[in-house]
C-alpha cells in the first residue's frame, strides 16, 4: 500500500549528532515497524575435498558476518542482518543459522565442471552441493524454519564455500586454478528433493566464497552475498546493463551503476572488499516489500530525509502510463553508502516496468540512433543531472554531478521522436514503447535544508477536484429512465377490462331478521319534534345505512375525543 503525503510547510531536521550515532549504532535508531518479520536463512559451509590444507575461516566469524554486529575489524560495515534491517527500515530482521564446515566429496574443479559450476545442459553445481545438504539433514537438521510458509519449498539457502570466487577472473595463488575451474558467485534455480522427517524441495540457492579476493584467508565482504541472496529469496532482477555490453568490466557496470546493490555490489568504489555495498535502490526496496513509497498527487514542496535511515522515498505516477513512474530519494554518505560521492543529494529515477528483457537489458540515450522513439531505455534509469548519460555509456559508476542540486530543473521535453539539439534530455516525458508524450511535470527548487535533509518542488500535476459537484440536479429523472419524456398518448385502447384480484369479504352468516320490504316514505315532513320514545322496536335498517351510521359515529367519536 502506498502512502500519500501533502506538501510540507515545515521541514524535519535531523540533529547532526544522531547522524553520527547512526553510523555506529544504526539498528538502534531505525524507524521501528509495527510488526517485525523474521527471515530465517540457512548457511551451509562447504569445504571442497582438495582444500584440506587451506585455513578455514572460523564458523563464529561467519556467524558474525551474517548476524552481526558489524563495525569491527572483521566486518568493517554492516553485517548482512544489519543491512536487511536498515534497508527495510526495521520491518524485517534476518536470522542466519550457520552450520559447521562440512567436507564435500567433490573437488573444486569437479564442482566447477570447467565452467564456473555451469554445464551445457543447465546447472551442474547442485550435483556437488545437494549431497552436502542431505548429509546435514540426515544428522538431524530441521529444515522447517527455512521453508516458505504453508509450503515445502526451500528458497535462498546459502552455500558458502572454501574456494575463491571465479568472477575475480584471477588465478588462485595457492592452487593455480583459473577462474573457469572455480565457482561463480551466483543464484541458482533448481528442483531437488531433500528427504528427512518431511520431504522438501530445494528451489533456489546461492554459491558464494567465504574469502576475499584470490590470495588470502580474509573473510569476504557482504556485498556479493547480499546481492546473490536477493536474487534467490526475492527473484530480484539485476540493474546493471544486462545486455552484455560491459560484461567483465572492472570500471563500470552500466545500468544504475553505484546507485543500487542490484547493479554493483561494491557500492560507489571499485574494490574487492565490498564492505560498503551501497544501499538498495528504491525500486528494489519496493519489489521486496521493504518500502512503501509516498505518492505525490498534488503540486507542492516536499522534503526528504536520508534514504539510508528513513523511508522518505516519493513516487509520481499520475501523468504516466500504467507501470511507468518517477522515484525520488535523498542519498547521503551514511551506513552502507559510506563511500557515496560527496555531498550527496536528490536522486531521480525513471521506471518503466513495461520494458522487455531481464533487468536493464536495453539502454537508451540521445547518443543512440532513433532514440527515444525507438523505445530503447532501461527498466530503471537514473536521470542524471549533468545530462551526459555516462551511466548508460558505462563511463563511470556515477558521481556527484548526477545529484539534483540548487538551480537544477528537470522538466518536460518537446515530444520529439528523435533527439535533436532542440530537445532537453533527460526530461519528464512519458516514453513507454517509444510513444513520447509530454507530461508537463516539473521538478525544481532543490534545496539543502541542512543536517542531511533536502527539499524539492513539484509542479505541473493535474489539479484534483476541490469538492463535490456544485450544481445539484434540478428535477427528477425523466419518465422511463431513457432520458426522453413521452410526447403522445397511447395509440390503442386496452383490449381487456380491469379484473380486480380482490373481492369484498362476504358475511360469515346471513342476518337473523331480513327486511320484508322497503319502508314507505312519509307523505309529509314532520313539523314537530317527537316528545316520546316510540313504543315499538325500530325496524331493521338496511345494510347500506348501517354502514353509513357506523362511519358517522366513528367520525363523531374522533371529534369528541379530539375536543376533550
CA distances 536 to 76, 287, 448, 520, 543, Å, are 127, 105, 116, 17, 21
In a domain, 456, yes or no: yes
In a domain, 270, yes or no: yes
Residue 124 is predicted with a pLDDT of 82
In a domain, 553, yes or no: no
In a domain, 512, yes or no: no
Residue 244 is predicted with a pLDDT of 81
Domain end marker among 217, 235, 253: 235
In a domain, 541, yes or no: no
Q: Are both 192 and 300 inside the same structural domain?
A: no
Q: What's the average pLDDT block by block, 10 residues per block, for the chain (564 residues)? A: 55 43 44 76 98 96 96 90 98 98 97 88 84 97 91 96 94 93 95 93 97 91 97 97 78 91 92 85 99 98 99 98 99 97 98 96 96 97 98 96 98 97 97 98 98 98 77 61 51 58 53 55 51 46 40 40 36
Q: Are both 216 and 115 inside the same structural domain?
A: yes
CB neighbourhood size of 423 (10 A): 16
Tally of domains within the chain? 2
Q: Are both 9 and 37 inside the same structural domain?
A: no
In a domain, 531, yes or no: no
Run of H or E residues at 233: helix 222-234
Question: How many Cα atoms sit within 13 Å of 457 on the Cβ side?
Answer: 12
C-alpha span between 200 and 185 (Å, rounded): 24
CA distances 32 to 26, 46, 250, 309, 522, Å, are 12, 36, 38, 11, 105
Q: Distance between the two ends of the chain, CA-based, in angstroms?
A: 69
Domain range enclosing 207: 31-235
Q: Cell 546461492, residue? A: 206
Residue 81 is predicted with a pLDDT of 98
Residue 365 is predicted with a pLDDT of 97
Q: Are both 376 and 459 inside the same structural domain?
A: yes
Contact between 339 and 268 under an 8 Å Cβ cutoff? The reply is yes
Contact between 84 and 93 under an 8 Å Cβ cutoff? The reply is yes
Q: Are strands 324-331 and 345-352 parallel, antiparallel or unpaired?
A: antiparallel
**Cell of residue 9, nine digits:** 510547510
In a domain, 494, yes or no: no
Q: Are strands 199-209 and 186-195 parallel, antiparallel or unpaired?
A: antiparallel
CB neighbourhood size of 271 (10 A): 14
Domain end marker among 235, 257, 283: 235
Q: Are both 301 and 361 inside the same structural domain?
A: yes
In a domain, 322, yes or no: yes
Q: Are both 217 and 365 inside the same structural domain?
A: no
Q: Cell 546447472, residue? A: 123
Is pTM beyond 0.85? Reply is: no
Q: Are both 202 and 274 inside the same structural domain?
A: no
Domain end marker among 448, 463, 478: 463
Amino acid at each position: 500500500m502506498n502512502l500519500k503525503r501533502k506538501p510540507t510547510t515545515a521541514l524535519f531536521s535531523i540533529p547532526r549528532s544522531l547522524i553520527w550515532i547512526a553510523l555506529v549504532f544504526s539498528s538502534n535508531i531505525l524507524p521501528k515497524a509495527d510488526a517485525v518479520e523474521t527471515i530465517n536463512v540457512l548457511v551451509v559451509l562447504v569445504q571442497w575435498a582438495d582444500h584440506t590444507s587451506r585455513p578455514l575461516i572460523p564458523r563464529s566469524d561467519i556467524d558474525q558476518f551474517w548476524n552481526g554486529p558489524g563495525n569491527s575489524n572483521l566486518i568493517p560495515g554492516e553485517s548482512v542482518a544489519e543491512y536487511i534491517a536498515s534497508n527495510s527500515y526495521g520491518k524485517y530482521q534476518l536470522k542466519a543459522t550457520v552450520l559447521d564446515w562440512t567436507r564435500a566429496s567433490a573437488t573444486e574443479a569437479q564442482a566447477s565442471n570447467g565452467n564456473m559450476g555451469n554445464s551445457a545442459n543447465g546447472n551442474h553445481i547442485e550435483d556437488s552441493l545437494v549431497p552436502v545438504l542431505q548429509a546435514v539433514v540426515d544428522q538431524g537438521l530441521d529444515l522447517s524454519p527455512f521453508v516458505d510458509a504453508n509450503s515445502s519449498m526451500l528458497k535462498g539457502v546459502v552455500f558458502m564455500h572454501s574456494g575463491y570466487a571465479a568472477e575475480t577472473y584471477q588465478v588462485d595463488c595457492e592452487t593455480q586454478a583459473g577462474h573457469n575451474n572455480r565457482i561463480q558467485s551466483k543464484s541458482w534455480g533448481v528442483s531437488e528433493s531433500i528427504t528427512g522427517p518431511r520431504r522438501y524441495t530445494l528451489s533456489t540457492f546461492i554459491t558464494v566464497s567465504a574469502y576475499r579476493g584470490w590470495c588470502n584467508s580474509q573473510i569476504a565482504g557482504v556485498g556479493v552475498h547480499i546481492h546473490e541472496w536477493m536474487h534467490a529469496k526475492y527473484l530480484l532482477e539485476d540493474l546493471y546493463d544486462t545486455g552484455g555490453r560491459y560484461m567483465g568490466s572492472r570500471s563500470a557496470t552500466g545500468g544504475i551503476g553505484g546507485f543500487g546493490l542490484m547493479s554493483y555490489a561494491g557500492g560507489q568504489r571499485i574494490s574487492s572488499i565490498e564492505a560498503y555495498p551501497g544501499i538498495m535502490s528504491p525500486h528494489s526496496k519496493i519489489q521486496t516489500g521493504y518500502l512503501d513509497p509516498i505518492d505525490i498527487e498534488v503540486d507542492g514542496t516536499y522534503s526528504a530525509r536520508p534514504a539510508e535511515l528513513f523511508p522518505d522515498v516519493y513516487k509520481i505516477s499520475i501523468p504516466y502510463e500504467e507501470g511507468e513512474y518517477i522515484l525520488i530519494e535523498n542519498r547521503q554518505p551514511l551506513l552502507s553508502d559510506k563511500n557515496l560521492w560527496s555531498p550527496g543529494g536528490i536522486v531521480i529515477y525513471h521506471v518503466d516496468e513495461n520494458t522487455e528483457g531481464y533487468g536493464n537489458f536495453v539502454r537508451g540515450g540521445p547518443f543512440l540512433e532513433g532514440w527515444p522513439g525507438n523505445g530503447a531505455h532501461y527498466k530503471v534509469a537514473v536521470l542524471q543531472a549533468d545530462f551526459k548519460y555516462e551511466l548508460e555509456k558505462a563511463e563511470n559508476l556515477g558521481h556527484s554531478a548526477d545529484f539534483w542540486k540548487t538551480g537544477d530543473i528537470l522538466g518536460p521535453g518537446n515530444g520529439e521522436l528523435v533527439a535533436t539539439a532542440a530537445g532537453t534530455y533527460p526530461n519528464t516525458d512519458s516514453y513507454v514503447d517509444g510513444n513520447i508524450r509530454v507530461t508537463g511535470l516539473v521538478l525544481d527548487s532543490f534545496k539543502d535544508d541542512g543536517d542531511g535533509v533536502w527539499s524539492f518542488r513539484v509542479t505541473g500535476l493535474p489539479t484534483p477536484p476541490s469538492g463535490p459537484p456544485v450544481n445539484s440536479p434540478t428535477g427528477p429523472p425523466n419518465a422511463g429512465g431513457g432520458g426522453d419524456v413521452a410526447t403522445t398518448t397511447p395509440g390503442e385502447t386496452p383490449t381487456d377490462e380491469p379484473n380486480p384480484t380482490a373481492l369484498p369479504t362476504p358475511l360469515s352468516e346471513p342476518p337473523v331478521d331480513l327486511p320484508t320490504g322497503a319502508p314507505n316514505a312519509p307523505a309529509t315532513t314532520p313539523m314537530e319534534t317527537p316528545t316520546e320514545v316510540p313504543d315499538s322496536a325500530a325496524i331493521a335498517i338496511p345494510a347500506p345505512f348501517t354502514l353509513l351510521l357506523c362511519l358517522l359515529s366513528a367520525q363523531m367519536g374522533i371529534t369528541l375525543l379530539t375536543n376533550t
